[in-house]
Chains A and B, each alone.
Chain A
């Protein structure tokens, strides 16, 4: 930087060196295209007729946009023996996701609260055990969980799927809340105790209203995670509570005769609508929540 005759300092690098800047943008654009091509193919294929798909023009736009396959995927595609389309799975996924997320956040927030503010005896050991639990790969725990849920009669039921999801969510949600609460000055807790607030009063009146960003973060993480889950829904949901992902797989794998690529693509896109919506509408909250760990009230 040089300052001459009291002029404003010259900022080099701001708009200088256009070549490297162009290079960066060119690279970013190419990478974005590479990443988006599969999505593009999915979307155009979902609108094409089978005839057009067979002609092999993978990248071209459809001649005539047709919503027929979307309708079929939603209403009448066959998953195994039933031909009621994805809508059954859509409802199931909601039935699974909403209570699972709500319960996971409630349980994680209360656990994090107890571990951070109340100096529970052996709190650190408990927390470590919880975290270690979170590091175990899913698949290892499936069989024991099957035995447990079947013993207590929750196997093949909605409650069973939800319970398993909550158990798997607990480590990460507890971690989020515990660390967020640990950043809140302890004086706040002391002031509330002097004011007569007990365990639940402090939690509901003071802590929870401060935790909206963290609830949003945990909510976004868990909604996408649970909505996208396949294995828990497959194993514990049985036929009646198969989530959308399981149904999607059945549609793709149980076609007789000609494979209907357009229906399969439409079904896949329909299944991913909810996580996409969550990402697009709540990205701002997500960033705010992640950043708020550093901000003190």
Chain B
């Protein structure tokens, strides 16, 4: 079992700093997801771990050995790409066995391993086909097979599901999770899809602007976002943000006082500016106008089947809330959104950091 450690890793393209001071400790067998918007450096980081990207400073340790300047093939890694990257003129069998042939593995051993992997991923009937004769889902399955057959300690996934349609994506997502449970290899998975991150990860690393914003279990990331960026990026629809000012231990938001004391780790100075965050599912829609909460008007209602998504407005402030699908709400209704104090997230208005 192989862990991966990154020590003060920095990457530059010419003079441009792409990544700086990245420290990351990935224990063996962990499924870690690098999550972030495009351009945040997550794919670059993955390429650096694979050895496909030159490192300007710092160290990469795989299985305890310094691999910073070792060739990709000798790092004990396998990689799956967004574009599948199957060798187009080789059959599926050829694709699966190519790496083993290069490594001069004995023929019977290659056949055994290819057969084993083909069975595991249910691609046996496809073995003699060319990649161009496969569907997108089948191609990605073969690409995963090509990684598995290498018998590597670390798997690197570079947005493997982004090119697939929604149905296939969720099928393959489950399959990747099953694969991890079965192989118990270390897996490093890059995505911009927060649902993939939440469902797959043992631990999520949220990245933005070349640095790590927060790392933690999906539960920590979701329930205790370290800053407004993480809070907004994870969760769908995104967390609602309300700007307020602290007065008498309460946050004054658009003239209404919200109690925030129990959401805070330490009391705030009078008059400090804060951002109050609340997730749509933590808001309760009260049809009764006398109920406590923020008075809003319903703008749009989106029935999702299992629930209804209610988009409300209060002057220039827009908010979204989830209600049971049985709730009788319609556009134009004047309602109150109830907030419970312990479900609030308070951020510093200036730095965006969690308070």
Q: Which residues of A contact B (CB under 8 A)?
A: 185, 187-188, 190-197, 201, 205-206, 209-210, 297
Contact = CB atoms under 8 A, between A and B. Distances in A.
Contact of A191 (B51, B71, B81): B81
Which of B50, B98, B131 counts the most A-chain CB atoms under 10 A from its CB? B98
A261 B202 CA distance: 87
Interface residues of B, number: 30
Contacts of B78: 194
A119 B90 CA distance: 26
Interface string B54-96: 0000000000000000011100011101111111111000000
Given A195-B73, A195-B99, A196-B73, A190 B89 contact: no
Contacts of B102: 195-197, 201
Nearest to B54: A119
Contacts of B52: 190, 193-194
Given A187-B85, A196-B103, A206-B90, 11 more contacts: A185-B83, A187-B81, A187-B84, A190-B52, A190-B79, A191-B87, A193-B71, A195-B98, A195-B150, A196-B99, A297-B131
Which of B51, B73, B78, B90 counts the most A-chain CB atoms under 10 A from its CB? B73
Interface of B: 47, 50-52, 71-73, 77-79, 81-90, 98-99, 102-103, 131-132, 143, 146, 150, 158
Contacts of B131: 297
A191 B88 CA distance: 12
18 contacts: A187-B85, A187-B158, A190-B50, A191-B79, A191-B81, A192-B87, A192-B98, A193-B71, A194-B73, A194-B99, A195-B98, A195-B99, A196-B71, A196-B73, A201-B102, A206-B87, A206-B89, A206-B90
A201 B99 CA distance: 11
Nearest to B152: A194
A185 B85 contact: yes
A187 B98 contact: no
3 A-B pairs with the lowest CB-CB distances in the bound complex, closest first: A196-B73, A195-B99, A297-B88
Given A194-B78, A196-B102, A205-B98, A188 B87 contact: yes
Contacts of B47: 190
Nearest to A201: B102
A187 B88 CA distance: 12
Given A185-B83, A187-B83, A194 B88 contact: no
A210 B72 contact: no
Which of B82, B90, B102 counts the most A-chain CB atoms under 10 A from its CB? B102
A193 B158 CA distance: 15
Contact of A193 (B73, B82, B83): B73
A297 to B, nearest CB: 4
B87 A194 contact: no
Contacts of B88: 210, 297
A210 B85 contact: no
B89 A210 contact: yes
A264 B180 CA distance: 78
Contacts of B86: 191, 297
A201 B73 CA distance: 13
Contacts of A191: 79, 81, 85-87, 143, 146
A293 B199 CA distance: 39
Contacts of A195: 73, 98-99, 102, 146, 150
Contacts of A205: 87, 98
Which of B72, B77, B87, B158 counts the most A-chain CB atoms under 10 A from its CB? B87
Contacts of B82: 187
A188 B71 CA distance: 17
